[in-house]
Structure 1
Amino acid sequence: MPALAIILVIVGLVLLFLGIFVEAVKFLLWIGLIILIVGAVMAVLRFVRRKV
């Protein structure tokens, strides 16, 4: 019985860490997307200023 409890605790901790890492990856994905959009807007503005 104690072995089962230890296994359940370990599985619970692994799932908790995976949940945290998945949330961190989602957060970093949004940050990367925002940086990509800002970079694209800056490139377009630089292109437009060069034309004028």
Structure 2
Amino acid sequence: MKKPIDLRAARKAAEQRKYRDTALDTFDRLQHEAKRDQQEQAAEVRRKARNAF
């Protein structure tokens, strides 16, 4: 026999999971954009250094 579940607690847990997943996804996306910006900046610096010689 299955244990009875509290629907309020189950709904709250589902909402918390959804919020957590959204927050983590947003953080990952921002981290990816920051890394890409840093790589573009590094490439530009290398190009300028190469053209200086």
- TM-score bracket for this pair, using the shorter chain length: 0.7 to 0.9
Q: CA deviation at 1:43?
A: 0.9
Question: Alpha carbon RMSD of aligned pairs, Å?
Answer: 1.1
1:43 counterpart (39, 42, 45)? 45
The size of the alignment, in residue pairs, is: 48
Alignment TM-score, normalising by the size of structure 1: 0.77
Q: Report sequence identity in percent.
A: 4
Q: Distance in 2 between matches of 1:17 and 1:50?
A: 50
Q: Distance in 1 between matches of 2:31 and 2:15?
A: 24
Which position in structure 2 is the counterpart of 1:31? 33
SS of the counterpart of 1:16? helix
Structure 1: give runs of 5+ residues left out of the alignment.
Answer: none
Alignment TM-score, normalising by the size of structure 2: 0.76
Segments of 4+ moved more than 3 angstroms: none
